Amino acid sequence: MTDVQPGSAQAVYMALRRRLSDGAYAPGQRLTEMALAADLGVSRTPVREAIGRLLTDGLVVPAVRGVVVAALSPTEAEHLFVLRADLEALAAELAAGRQAAGRLAPAEVDALDDAVDEVEAAVRTHDPRASAQANLALHRAIGAAAGNPFLEETLHRVWDRIAVTTVANLDDPHWAGAITEQHRAIVSAIRAGDPEAARSAAKSHIEAARRAYKPLG
């Protein structure tokens, strides 16, 4: 979705966005242009440009002096998860609809099942980072299967915004046990081409995820 235009401003933006959604910076931490410029080996100008974009993304917020890494209050997290639940519900619904219309490649549907397996395996390793990554990969795949670039981009924004201050608590035994079942419900509904079932399964899943959410800030 995001075009990789030659030029380091774009590269800086993507690098910073990745770092932020990887949790490389603590919420509330100040980011200075100079430090980032030195770190990335460019001048302040492309860094400034990138920071401007991060501001509109909401990943950093203006401070008295420069910007600080955004934090999520419990209320904000609540709001974000409400939005996310609806968007992921729509994605699952659209994916199921495409499947019903025969516009979803069989390989793509199989890939969803594989992704569910990989999340399950990752959760078993009790590696929170790998689990979160596998989980996100599955959700991304569903988002892609919806076939709507704008929905997909919006989902990415929401995921990144949540990820800045969240660590997916996939190590919680209760949640770990439920997650695969819920994932299977979504993918099964998509495979069956049942949009309504897919929507409600996805919505329930995200609402369950919200309850397992653990803020970092």
**Interacting residue with DNA among 19, 48, 140, 157 (CB under 7 A):** 48
Does 127 participate in binding DNA (rule CB under 7 A)?
A: no
Does 43 participate in binding a second copy (rule CB under 8 A)?
A: no
What gap in Å lies between CA 179 and CA 108, rounded to an integer?
21
Task: Kindly state the number of chain residues that form the binding site for DNA, as judged by CB under 7 A.
Answer: 20
DSSP letter at 105 equals: -
Which one of a second copy, DNA, none interacts with residue 74, CB within 5 to 8 A by kind? none
Please identify, using beta-carbon distances, which residue of 61 and 130 lies nearer to a second copy.
61
Does 204 participate in binding DNA (rule CB under 7 A)?
A: no
Binding mask 147-186 for a second copy (x = CB under 8 A): -xxxx-xx--xx--x-------------------------
Q: Rounded to the nearest whole angstrom, what is the least distance from the CB of residue 124 to a second copy in the complex?
A: 33
Does 61 participate in binding DNA (rule CB under 7 A)?
A: no
Residues 17-55 as b or e (16 or more Cβ within 10 Å = b): bebbbebebebeeebebeebbeebebeeebbebbbebbe
Region 6-35 residues binding DNA, contact defined as CB under 7 A: 7-10, 31-34
Where is 168: in which H helix or E strand?
none
Helix (H, G, I), strand (E, B) or coil at 72: coil
Does 56 participate in binding DNA (rule CB under 7 A)?
A: no
Alpha carbon distances (Å) from 182 to 22, 45, 94: 25, 46, 18
Does 31 participate in binding a second copy (rule CB under 8 A)?
A: no
Does 136 participate in binding a second copy (rule CB under 8 A)?
A: no
What gap in Å lies between CA 177 and CA 124, rounded to an integer?
10
Write the CB contacts of 125 (distance below 8 Å, at least 6 apart in sequence).
131
197 neighbors 189 (Cβ within 8 angstroms): yes
- C-alpha dihedral (25, 26, 29, 31), degrees to nearest 10: 10
Q: Which residues are at the interface with a second copy (CB under 8 A)?
A: 2-3, 5, 9, 13, 45, 48-50, 52-53, 55-58, 61-62, 76, 79-80, 82-83, 86-87, 90, 94, 148-151, 153-154, 157-158, 161
Q: Which residues are at the interface with DNA (CB under 7 A)?
A: 5, 7-10, 31-34, 42-46, 48-49, 62, 64-66
